[in-house]
Structures are given as structure tokens and as C-alpha cells.
Amino acid sequence: MQAKVKILVVDDELPVCRSISSALEAEGRLIDTALGGEEALRKEEENEYDIMLVDLMMPGMSGMDLLKAVKEKRAEVVVVMITGYPTMDTAVQSVKLGAFDYIPKPFTPDELRSIVSRALERRRLYEQKIASAEKPGEEESAEPGLPKNLYCIPDHCWAKVEGDGTVRIGVHDIFLMTIKDISSIDFPYENEKVGQGDACLWVVDARGNLHRMWSPVSGQVISINEELKEDYSQVMRDPYGSGWLLLIKPASLEDDLKNLAPLVLE
């Protein structure tokens, strides 16, 4: 394999940093910790990390500022935000600003590892793209003429506002690429309520990792794509068409859409 994967954990509390570090310790990984935004930036300049795990709520330079600063310099760094529950809006917004994903505290080592494995996949995708086009694809702005009813949490999920006001949601192809294959999907019940940025379903990959999928909008689950239960590969084949996951009746669509980015289909 190539060089070691470099990971930086940023949290203002040392025990948290160490816990995360020890949970992620593995062959071929170099894990650093930083106790603040400034320290993280300094270390980032030295080491050029592949993945950064950043706590959103920190004294001094906030996680969001750090994200912006890092992404400005090196867009290919995969940043995963660590959030507290009250900062869920900010979490979704951070994804719009370029974070790869987020993980709410407290979490188990498995949850952490799942998201980091996806982050590694994402990092690999970047490297391939950098090798081929030298530019991350989703950075391209929406082309004119595209339907305006398509939105997404970048690299994560999409939402399509239907004519009857309901919202069809599905999984982003980048998300699929980071998990590689789907062994099963844990769907919500019909009529269950979901909030924007909350987990609305779980995707189990071939290795048995559980991956949360955030709901792009708040609302109530009207129906799920029952066809998928027989053949999950449908999602992989056509994530934006027959591979849709849920139909949601939105509760506050207008406000939700502000946190979302337009979806650009290639």
C-alpha cells in the first residue's frame, strides 16, 4: 500500500481525542490530535492530513471556521464533523459547506469506524479524480436548465420535490461509492416522523458496517420503496431513479431547503 493514512482528531477535550484515537487505531494509520482550531490548522499545514474529525463546538475557533479554512486551502481533505445534538442544523450546513459527513456524540467505536471507512473511500475517490481531472466533481455549480426541484446533502442523499408537494428521497451516488455495496437497508416505519439531519434509515454494507443516512427534510414517512427489499442492487444501479428510498410528506420544506445544496447530475 501507499503511505499511511493520516487522520487528525480535533476536540477541545483530551479524553475525547484519546478515546477516538484509540478506537481508530489500526495498521497503516497515523492519528494526531489537536485540542483547538488553531492547533489543528498548524498541524494540518505540517502534515496534510487525509481525514479530519472536527468537533463543531469548540472554544476559540469553532469547528465550522476550521472547516472553512481547511477546505479553502485543501478541498480534497475529507472532514467529518463531530456534533452535539443542539448543533444539528449546523451539522447539515457544514456538509453543505464541504464536510463529508457528521457524527453526533456520543457514539460507539463501530459507528465511528463506519463513518471513517466511508471517509477513507471518499478520500480514495478524490485521489482518483485528482488523478484524472484534478478537480472534485461536485464543486461544479448547477448548470442552467436543470430542474430546480432536485436538492441534496452533498455526497450523502438527495431530495426531489414532487408535484403533489411530497418529497422523494434517495441516496447520493458518492455515498454509495463510499460503502461499495449494500447488504440490507433498515427502513423506518410508515408514518414515522423524521427530522432534517436525523437518521432516517440505516444502510448495512457487505462488511456488516452500519451507515446512517440523514434525512434531507423534516416530515413524515408516507411510503417506502418496497421493491428494494427484494433487490437492494437496484439502489446501486439507479440511485436517482428506481433506486429511491422513501416518500416523505415534508413538514417545513421551505426552511429545510435552505440547508440543502442543489443536486447536479452528471
Partner 1 sequence: MRHISIRTRLVLSFSIVILVGVLLSAFVGIRLIGNTIIRQAQGKVRLDLNSAWEVYKGQSENIKDVVRLTAVRFFMKDAVSKNDRERLWRELQKIRESESLDILTLIDGEGRVLVRARRPDLFGDPLDNDIIEYVLINEREIVSTQIITEEQLQKEGGDLASQARMKLIPTPKAKPRPEAEETSGMMIIAAAPVYDYHGDLIGILLGGKLLNRDYEIVDRVKDIVYRGETYQGKDIGTATIFQGDLRIATNVLREDGSRAIGTRVSEEVYDQVIGQGAPWIGRAFVVNDWYITAYEPIKSLQGEIIGMLYVGMLEAPYLDLRNRVLFIFLGIALLSVILLSIIAYFTTAKVVRPVRQLLFATEKVADGNLSHRLPIQSRDEMGQLAASFNRMTEELQKATEGYHMLTRTLEDKVREKTEELKATQDQLIQSEKLTSLGKLAAGIAHEINNPLTSILINSHLIAEKLKSDDRFKENLELITDETARCSTIVKGLLEFSRQTQPEKRLTDVNKVVDKTLLLLRSEALAHKVRIHKALDSALPDIMIDGNKIEQVFTNVILNALEAMPTGGDLFISSRILSEDQLVAVSFRDSGCGISQENIGKIFDPFFTTKERTGTGLGLSVSYGIVQQHGGRIEVQSQMEKGTTVTILLPANNTRGQNSKTGR
Instruction: Please report, as ranges, the residues that interact with partner 1 according to CB under 8 A.
Output: 11, 13, 15-16, 18-20, 22-23, 57, 84-86, 105-110, 112, 191-193, 218, 220, 251-252, 255
- Decide whether 14 or 30 has the Cβ nearer to partner 1: 14
Q: Provide the minimum distance between the beta carbon of 114 and partner 1 in the complex, in angstroms, as a whole number.
A: 13
Query: How far apart, in Å, are the Cα atoms of 58 and each of 19, 124, 154, 208?
Result: 17, 29, 24, 33
Q: Provide the minimum distance between the beta carbon of 84 and partner 1 in the complex, in angstroms, as a whole number.
A: 5
- Decide whether 13 or 48 has the Cβ nearer to partner 1: 13
Query: Cell 408537494 maps to which residue?
Result: 165
Contact between residue 149 and residue 161 where contact means Cβ atoms under 8 Å apart: yes
Residue of 56, 59, 7 lying closest to 38 (CA atoms) = 59
Nearest-angstrom CA–CA distance, 164 and 169: 14
Query: Cell 417506502 maps to which residue?
Result: 224
SS (H, E, C) 84-135: CHHHHHHHHHHHHCCCCEEEECCCCHHHHHHHHHHHHHHHHHHHHHHHHCCC
What pairing do the DSSP bridges indicate for beta strands 101-104 and 78-83?
parallel
Segment holding 248, helix H or strand E? strand 246-250
Q: Provide the minimum distance between the beta carbon of 252 and partner 1 in the complex, in angstroms, as a whole number.
A: 5
- Decide whether 64 or 150 has the Cβ nearer to partner 1: 64
Q: Provide the minimum distance between the beta carbon of 160 and partner 1 in the complex, in angstroms, as a whole number.
A: 21
Residue of 162, 144, 151 lying closest to 223 (CA atoms) = 162
Q: Provide the minimum distance between the beta carbon of 155 and partner 1 in the complex, in angstroms, as a whole number.
A: 24
- Decide whether 22 or 184 has the Cβ nearer to partner 1: 22
- Decide whether 137 or 208 has the Cβ nearer to partner 1: 208
- Decide whether 173 or 198 has the Cβ nearer to partner 1: 198
Query: How far apart, in Å, are the Cα atoms of 69 and each of 37, 83, 188, 233?
Result: 10, 18, 37, 38
